Amino acid sequence: MTTDAAKGSYVEPGKGYDRDMNYIPDRITRDGRDGWPVEAGRYRLIVARACPWANRSIIVRRLLGLEDAISIGYCGPTHDERSWTFDLDPGGVDPVLGIERLQQAFFKRYPDYPRGITVPAIVDVPTGQVVTNDFPWITHDFSTEWTEFHREGAPDLWPDDVRDEMEEVMQRIFTEVNNGVYRCGFAGSQTAYEAAYDRLFAALDWLEERLATRRFLMGDTITEADVRLFTTLARFDAVYHGHFKCNRQKLAEMPVLWAYARDLFQTPGFGETIDFDQIKTHYYVVHSDINPTGIVPKGPEPELWLAPHGREELGGRPFGDGTAPLPER
């Protein structure tokens, strides 16, 4: 996770939250210009279901049908100051990479790696070295560089005709919503918290209005913008409303966004990637400076996400000219 996951400290008294956006900038491309060419079976995507940034890559990999081209390894929902760990696997060891901690892949390439050990990350299987943890580019490149390995019927998540506007929409969603909830939760002063709170809900009000007349953020079909917003909305009532003090309203009290989020949750490729128990365990256990007791709340009930949403009345075709992904193997 990109909140200094392996550094152990989140809240700086008296300060606002400032996300460290310096990631390993390498990209996996068709021309291999960074030294990492697209090659089926060579790379392993390391994620945690708890993390919203990693959740994006899980969804995009599913939607595009890259399961056979890029293997996936799941870390558990909690970590210590050193690293995410593979405690869900037998013996606590990733069965492909043979490591207990994601940190080992980072240190194999950078012995003195100074930043947080974050997910998602892509590891080069032959060398065991991390390739990149630059989460916005990971999903972008899944769509644009790995096209040779997309499934038949894969949706176009970066449509040319709306790309410029989509970049603007995604930037606002990132700064004000995806990162906005963290600015609330990790604020080190009342002033910083209230400023972050106001910015967050101003953006959510804008999204309520935008989505009132269109089924998805960019129109009739799902794009990367919807993936990026969904992973925050999926965690809103379970975590951000209480744990991060984003409590003007619950998502379930914002009628348009709540229906939109349920629409996506019930769309193949989205809801099956969500594990509410892992999500709650991560935030309420790892963030000990916010929740020192480590108590994990029981609610809300996940069945609420399966209620009818009525968004079909707006028309649209979620996958455009494509088709839904097959059920997970």
Percent of the chain with pLDDT strictly greater than 90: 91
Q: Which of 51, 75, 184, 246 is catalytic?
A: 51
Place of tokens 């969904």: 230
Determine phi and psi for 264, rounding to 5 degrees: -65, -45
DSSP string, 232-265: HHHHIIIIITTTT---S--GGGSHHHHHHHHHHH
Secondary structure letter of residue 151 according to DSSP = P
Q: Which of 182, 193, 197, 284 is catalytic?
A: 182
Known catalytic residue at 284: no
pLDDT at 12: 81
Q: Is 99 left (phi over 0), alpha (psi -120 to 50) or beta?
A: beta
What are the binding residues for glutathione? 84
In 3-state terms, what secondary structure has residue 64?
helix
Tens of pLDDT, residues 151-170: 999 999 999 999 999 999 99
Known catalytic residue at 182: yes
Tens of pLDDT, residues 98-138: 999 999 999 999 999 999 999 999 999 999 999 999 999 99
Within its chain, how far is the Cα of 179 from the centroid?
11
Tens of pLDDT, residues 172-220: 999 999 999 999 999 999 999 999 999 999 999 999 999 999 999 999 9
Within its chain, how far is the Cα of 100 from the centroid?
22
For the chain, what is the total number of helices (H) and then of strands (E)? 9, 4
CA max distance for the chain: 55
What are the binding residues? 84
pLDDT at 3: 41
Tens of pLDDT, residues 238-294: 999 999 999 999 999 999 999 999 999 999 999 999 999 999 999 999 999 999 999
Domains and CATH numbers, the chain: 162-314 (1.20.1050.10)
Q: Is the peptide bond before 300 cis (omega within 30 degrees of 0)?
A: yes
Do residues 325 and 65 touch, judged by C-beta distance below 8 A? yes
More confident residue, 20 or 77: 77
Tens of pLDDT, residues 81-99: 889 999 999 999 999 999 9
* pLDDT score of 1 more than 80: no
